[in-house]
Structure 1
Amino acid sequence: MAFLRTKSLFVSGITAVFCGLLLLGCQKAGKRKSFWGGKDDTKEPVTVPAAFTADSARQLALKLDSVFKYFHKRRGFNGTVLVTKYDQVIYKGAFGMADFYKRDSLTVETAFQLASVSKQFTAMAIMMLKEDGELTYEDSVQQYIPDFPYHGITIRQLLTHQSGLSNYTYFSDKLWPDRQKNLTNQDVINLMVAHQPKPYYRPNTRFDYSNTGYSLLASIVEKVAEQPFADFLRERIFEPLEMTRTFTYSPDVATLTGKIATGHTRFRQKRTSDYLDTVLGDKGIYSTVEDLYKWDQALYTQKLVSKETLQEAFTGYRPEKKKDEDYGFGWRIRPIENGDTIVYHGGLWHGFSSYMLRHPKEHSALIVLSNLPNGSFSYLQEIRKLLYPAHPDSAAHTTGPGIAARTKR
């Protein structure tokens, strides 16, 4: 199979902080918007250990390149990747095809559907409105959607997947009569009002991952900001962070020009959009690994929200505690082999897979986007062990036996 693989190794020092941009003004006269964004783009400091040198970064990049080359050739990985350490991009690459039918090659500038990685942007929109004084996390859904038929559900419970609501992607299959007509966030609400699909659980009793909850959060953003959710994200997040290749799905996405990946089945057949794609909040954002790096770096500043507000997103709220994982606002939280804590999220939707991991203690990230969901992401645990070994002072634990064996091939 013909393919193009591009890579770039960056080991020339710590990346400069991004310059602040003025945010756009109010869209509606009389609507108060006291933006926090843009007031403090100073990056929080990180201690770079003496062991992290240009040479060690180069060696790690070479190992990563060998591993992803192996995943591409032997495991069918098709996508893009970007890895950072201590705010530096040490590796990025593109493997395979943006469209197998057209034989278009991927580049690191290719945009992918982020699927559930979109949830962290929805959570950020809510946090920004909270800092604007426009809402609180304890507000009920009825304060913004008066005819919503399920009582006792708060914004916080939507953020942390404790609403207990049934999945709109399932009940819409039964209740939406015309599959040729796009479903909107308001349509989801209308279906819930008219048919009241039975919740899975009572609110605030257990964690139950809910796409419905995040679609409702997008609707709340629209009600509070008095503008479309996509416009809010663009004006308040994407444009200030110079995420120039990031956008939300619309029925016109197929006609857009530029580098946009096509979703495929595991057998490389093209996936087509359907009536569910137009619901936003739980999914629907397209972005690139380079734009997601800008997003990652912004989260080490107070450009969007204050440090205190952001910390709540990385705090676990699950009522039943699991030893291996918790959930904040649009982020999963878990300890890793070396004892540190990471925040991450994955996504899977209509031929796309996405994964974004952040290690706040050392300002590092692993960003992987794919348009061929064939199970190749199951090997990301091995990449995580390579990046964050359990015994970093021991050379014997630098790669782990599985990866070391493959990189010798």
Structure 2
Amino acid sequence: MISVKKTNILQILLLLLILNSCKQKNKEAVLSDEKPKDTMPHMEPPAKKLPKLTAQYTNSKKNAIEHFYNKNWRNNSMNGSFLVAQNGQIIFEKYDGMADFRDERPITATTPLHLASVSKILTASAILKLIDAKKISLDQKVNTILPTFPFPEVTIKTLLNHRSGMRNYAYFTDKNDGIWDRHKILTNQDILDLMATKKIGLESRTDSRFSYCNTNYAILALIIEKKTGLSYKNAMQRMIFKPLGMNHTYVFDYEKDKDTAVTSYKGNKIEIGKDYLDAVYGDKNIYSTPRDLLKFDLARNSPDFLSPELLKLVYTPFSQEYKGEKNYGLGIRMINWETGQNFYFHNGWWHGNTSSYITLLKEHVTIIALSNKFTTKTYQVRKLAPLFGDYPFKLGNDEKEE
């Protein structure tokens, strides 16, 4: 009798032990589900901060930049955002004008403006991270990822460096030949479908010459979606915006954001409405601020961004068929002077939005200019480069350091 009781007690204790063990495992599983390991390749903030600038140095640069700003922008009714930083430290920033002239909503440091083609640098960065993580390869044929893509020789590389030979979607959908009904909003998938079914041939033989073309980056956005299993909007959020703390940056969603995004204007303040091309992304349609782009630039120029071999290719000039200083790498414009000095940048223009992103690699300088009221003055910010290094742009006598 006593032996039976002891057996029952042992069985109960054993059962309790098993139940407790299962409960603990379930708890760990729940915790694991709450915080899954993120295997998505993504950009990270730089691990080390660059040296702090002295107050004397900062003030001398600030005064010169302010002279430039007052002469080139303020006196010409600037409407937008402007920032100059070195070593990640903001030397000068200014926010002038209106995000919306109707309700007199001013542009501030947290107002996202349309980046136009500066968006290409961010799209390229996401693609480069996927290449670095071996999710895709630089020389991979596009039709191995997007099976209906009709041009067999086009690779990811020739999309990035604009040597694919494809035609610009803005042109082949704008003709009165039945290819596209301009009353319907065009999407990235529509572009791919049209090229696959409407006999839209190449403009030039693939990799025979450089030809800047927005279609390249619209297709790159589809590749990002295919390889991540996410929408381009969510992939960019997961890979770049969120890990870098770019809290005022987003991909424009036509249906969701068309009535709330910052308006663009002609130079005379006449509003420019949306059209059938405004839903296409990858080549454009990222909204951001100078401070967010500074975070992006610091991460992009950190040693952890890409492997050294791939990073070298990013800044390799690929449009060498004609002799000249102007060139294009993998998602970045450049000027390569005979002196050996190199200047890296990207400009943008969409509707009334103009943008300029400049990264002086050796000097760790970031220059950002964004405007939602059309002006080519945005592109003049390159003239600030000589304040930091040996760049052959000309500053006026009143814009030089005192």
Q: 1:253 aligns with which of 237, 242, 257?
A: 257
CA contact 1:41–1:298 (8 Å) conserved in 2: yes
Aligned partner of 1:285 in structure 2 is 286
Q: How does 1:309-348 map to 2 (within 5 A)?
A: 309-335=310-336, 340-348=341-349
Matched, 1:215 2:218: yes
Distance 2:93 2:380 in 1: 17
Instruction: Note the alpha carbon deviations across 1:42-64, whole angstroms, 9 max, x for none.
Output: 24867x8xxx6321311221221
Matched, 1:374 2:375: yes
Aligned partner of 2:192 in structure 1 is 189
**Structure 1 residues 43 and 339: alpha-carbon distance in aligned structure 2, compared to 1, 3 A threshold:** farther
Q: How does 1:2-401 map to 2 (within 5 A)?
A: 34-37=39-42, 41-43=46-48, 53-174=54-175, 175=178, 177-251=180-254, 252-256=256-260, 261-302=262-303, 304-335=305-336, 340-388=341-389, 400-401=396-397
Moved more, 269-278 or 349-358: 269-278
**Structure 1 residues 376 and 354: alpha-carbon distance in aligned structure 2, compared to 1, 3 A threshold:** same
* Secondary structure, counterpart of 1:344 in structure 2: strand
* Secondary structure, counterpart of 2:221 in structure 1: helix
Report how far residue 131 of structure 1 moved.
Answer: 2.2
Report how far residue 337 of structure 1 moved.
Answer: 10
Point out the structure with the larger helix share.
Answer: 2
**Structure 1 residues 36 and 229: alpha-carbon distance in aligned structure 2, compared to 1, 3 A threshold:** closer
Report how far residue 325 of structure 1 moved.
Answer: 2.0
Q: Give the letter for the 2:257 counterpart.
A: V
Distance 1:246 1:338 in 2: 37
* Secondary structure, counterpart of 2:137 in structure 1: coil
* Secondary structure, counterpart of 2:264 in structure 1: coil
CA contact 2:187–2:280 (8 Å) conserved in 1: yes
Instruction: Note the alpha carbon deviations across 1:189-248, whole angstroms, 9 max, x for none.
Output: 111111122322101111100111111111111111122111110011100001000000
Q: Give the letter for the 1:230 counterpart.
A: K
Report how far residue 339 of structure 1 moved.
Answer: 5.8
Moved more, 370-379 or 269-278: 370-379
Q: Give the letter for the 2:172 counterpart.
A: F
**Structure 1 residues 311 and 42: alpha-carbon distance in aligned structure 2, compared to 1, 3 A threshold:** farther
| TM-score normalised to structure 2 length | 0.83
| Structure 2 spans left out of the alignment, 5+ residues | 1-34
Report how far residue 99 of structure 1 moved.
Answer: 1.7
* Secondary structure, counterpart of 2:58 in structure 1: helix
Instruction: Note the alpha carbon deviations across 1:130-187, whole angstroms, 9 max, x for none.
Output: 1222211111111012222222111111110001111001111125544343211100
Instruction: Note the alpha carbon deviations across 1:282-314, whole angstroms, 9 max, x for none.
Output: 111000001000001112325554444333222
**Structure 1 residues 348 and 186: alpha-carbon distance in aligned structure 2, compared to 1, 3 A threshold:** same
Moved more, 159-168 or 321-330: 321-330
Matched, 1:403 2:390: no
Distance 1:41 1:388 in 2: 23
Quote the RMSD (CA, aligned, Å): 2.8
Distance 2:377 2:237 in 1: 32
Distance 2:61 2:45 in 1: 33
**Structure 1 residues 350 and 309: alpha-carbon distance in aligned structure 2, compared to 1, 3 A threshold:** same
Instruction: Note the alpha carbon deviations across 1:308-355, whole angstroms, 9 max, x for none.
Output: 433322222224154312211110122479963221100000110010
* Secondary structure, counterpart of 2:136 in structure 1: coil
**Structure 1 residues 150 and 211: alpha-carbon distance in aligned structure 2, compared to 1, 3 A threshold:** same
Moved more, 232-241 or 64-73: 64-73
Distance 1:182 1:162 in 2: 27
Moved more, 37-46 or 166-175: 37-46
CA contact 1:354–1:369 (8 Å) conserved in 2: yes
Runs of 4+ in 1 over 6 A off after TM superposition: none
Moved more, 225-234 or 376-385: 376-385
Distance 2:231 2:257 in 1: 17
The count of corresponding residues between Structure 1 and Structure 2 is 365
**Structure 1 residues 339 and 149: alpha-carbon distance in aligned structure 2, compared to 1, 3 A threshold:** closer
Instruction: Note the alpha carbon deviations across 1:90-136, whole angstroms, 9 max, x for none.
Output: 11111222222222221122111111111111111111211222211
Instruction: Note the alpha carbon deviations across 1:374-400, whole angstroms, 9 max, x for none.
Output: 222353343333444559xxxxx9954
Moved more, 335-344 or 104-113: 335-344
Q: Give the letter for the 2:206 counterpart.
A: P
